Amino acid sequence: MLDRIKRFIETQNMSASAFANAIGVQRSSVSHILSGRNKPSLDFILRLKNYYPDLNLDWLLFGKGPILSTKKTDVENSISEIDNDKKTFPAQKNESRDKDLFTKYAEFKEEILGENKTIGDDIQDEVLPQSAKRIKKIVLFFEDNSFEEYNPGK
């Protein structure tokens, strides 16, 4: 891959520092890659592909095919087909999109709970058990190591 990166820079008639500035990486990164000290990172390859969209990644990574790709990829073809479909067919009205939020909430509540049950019935029984316990004292501790006591019963 190192030789292919060098060859690509040569075909662009650029110096290593101009190439680094063009793709938006540090000059030292390109220097280290070209000297063989470091391998190109994914970020480096993505920046290279973003700046040179016609660069053939199969050639760069595996040495297969031409340096520059001239055909559209399958993904680009699929995207253009989807865009064409959107232009030719108007969007159909979605029934759930037309309902307001309160109608959706009521339907959702009925699906989950059923018709005869409400949300608060079960929760209130669990949260407020009947107990004879009462609060005797509340102590608050402050950051300056002082404290205050509260006696709610007095």
Q: Which domains does the chain have, with CATH numbers?
A: 1-62 (1.10.260.40)
Q: 4 CB contacts (<8 Å, ≥6 apart)?
A: 59, 60, 63
Identify the burial level of 30 via C-beta atoms within 10 angstroms of its C-beta, where 0-12 means exposed, 13-18 middle and 19 or more buried: buried
Q: 75 falls in which pLDDT band (50, 70, 90)? A: low
Cut 0.75: pTM above it: no
DSSP of 137-148: -EEEE-TTS-EE
Strand partners, 76: none
- Most trustworthy range by pLDDT among 23-32, 67-76, 102-111: 23-32
pLDDT digits (tens, 9 = 90+) for 82-107: 666 655 555 555 555 556 767 776 77
